[in-house]
Amino acid sequence: MKFSTLLISFFISINAFTQDDSTILRNIYDMALLQGNGYEDLRSLCKDVGARITGSAEAEMAIEWGKAKMESYGFDNVRLQEIEVPHWERGTKEAGWIKLKDGELIKVNMLALGGSIGTNGVLEGELIEFKSLDLLREADRKDVEGKIVFINQPMDAKLINTFHAYGGCYPIRGNGAVEGSKLGAKAVIIRSLGLPVDPHPHTGSMRYADSVEKIPAAAISTMDANMLSDLLKDRKANFVMEMDCRSYPPVKSYNVIGEIKGTKYPKKIIVVGGHLDSWDTGEGAHDDGAGIIHSLEAFRILKELDYKPKHTLRVVFFMNEENGNMGGKSYASIANELKENHVAALESDRGGFTPRGFSCDGQVCHIDLMQKFEPLFEPYDLHVFEKGYGGVDIGPLHDYFPEIPLYGFVPDSQRYFDFHHAPSDVFENVNKRELELGCAAMASFIYLLDNTIEQAKNK
């Protein structure tokens, strides 16, 4: 048989979805929208447990919560996977204010960046503003030394995909302290990575380099950043800050794992999940409580519909995505040690907003396969099925299973960075129907993947 004939046969086979497939998707959506548990489960995670920073008592409580939920829904082989994770604490609430030459004081909304050192009491220094990290790198040491650097680089509002805007600004948070320290700065404050102008500061991970001195790093709200930038146009000002954050030795923690055993390929695993940890502000509702609920509820719905998967479906609540990704790294390493056969992975870590589709970090055959799902999702307004990103937690699987396709759930991105890593990331800011639609989309995608992934592998 010629290659072209084989190719045509392949596409016919994966296009041959039946009326039963459409009916199953309709049943999944009906279950999610009419008999869903997702919203109340998210309420419990946010309100009964709360913020879940790695190494905290709340993170350990969330692990027990996750295990109990999986057991209550009758998942198979529910267990905890021991891992080692970093431990950083914010300490007492940060304080930051502007001090003008005439004695006027202006308090600002500020959060220490995750991993920052403390200020060892009150720290004060003259402010110097840079509109980008590149401009800081180009500065003369004599202009920066002994001062507090203020990096005021906004996210690019003209970019439709807000994750692209976030990626363009991430270096000011990740590398700002290193670049400031190279020039002798006392500390660094950055404009929060968020599109709206509001009073909510956004935290997030940052890094240090062994080659330069560690200096404190914090984010101020976009509203305060605008005010401070306007003030510095014609006046000098000092910034005063106090932070009590510190790092501790690594601690023991766990990923939470449950399964629905496969009937035809029980040794072949499709892994689905999100991250159980969150930053210590807000309640981690969108980041990533929604992803945890998408995964949990998708499996519950499939169980309720008495679906018997071909592959073993495994749900994982990963610990420590935010400041180390030790849950994802450890899971992949252990899977390799156990010689497990992972054939696909799916992650939700982009919030609980209206579903738009899915992306794929994989080979052409896997992207083609996903795009064949689009007609089945058309009645549910999903239209994004494209090459893209899988997720932080499942990313390390590529180190051990280089051919595995990594799929990412893609919701609408316009409001995600209103809440990302901010005190406003609370349960009340998650829409019930949007969350339920996400749960249904995840369950439907898992069902379709389970029934077609072997055909893509055989292309």
Could you tell me what percent of the chain has a pLDDT over 90? 94
The reported pLDDT for the residue numbered 388 is 96
DSSP string, 138-207: TS-HHHHTTSEEEE-----TT-SSHHHHHHHHHHHHHHHHHHHHHTT-SEEEEE-S-SS-SS-----B--
Catalytic residue among 297, 321, 322, 347: 321
Classify domain 91-244 at the CATH class level: alpha beta
Question: pLDDT tens digit string along 239-277?
Answer: 999 999 999 999 999 999 999 999 999 999 999 999 999
Q: Would residue 321 show up in a list of annotated catalytic residues for this protein?
A: yes
Can you give the pTM of this predicted structure? Answer: 0.94
Domain map (residue ranges) of the chain: 3-88+249-457, 91-244
Q: What is the pLDDT of residue 458?
A: 52
Q: What is the pLDDT of residue 362?
A: 96
pLDDT in tens, 282-311: 999 999 999 999 999 999 999 999 999 999
**What pLDDT is recorded for position 103?**
87
Q: Are 189 and 238 within 8 A, CB to CB?
A: no
Using an 8 Å Cβ cutoff, are 416 and 350 in contact?
Answer: yes
pLDDT greater than 80 at residue 2 = no
Using alpha carbons, select from 325, 253, 305, 334 the residue that is nearest to residue 443. 305
Provide the pLDDT for residue 259: 98
**pLDDT higher than threshold 80 for residue 6:** no
The CATH superfamily of 3-88+249-457 is Zn peptidases (3.40.630.10)
Residue type (1 letter), 456: A
Q: What is the length of the chain?
A: 459
User: Span 433-450, mean pLDDT?
Assistant: 98
Q: pLDDT (tens digit, 9 = 90+) per residue, 67-83? A: 999 999 999 999 999 99
pLDDT at 140 over 70: yes
> What is the tens place of the pLDDT at every residue in 384-405?
999 999 999 999 999 999 999 9
Q: Is the pLDDT of residue 10 over 70?
A: no
Q: Answer yes or no: are the C-beta atoms of 126 and 228 closer than 8 Å.
A: no
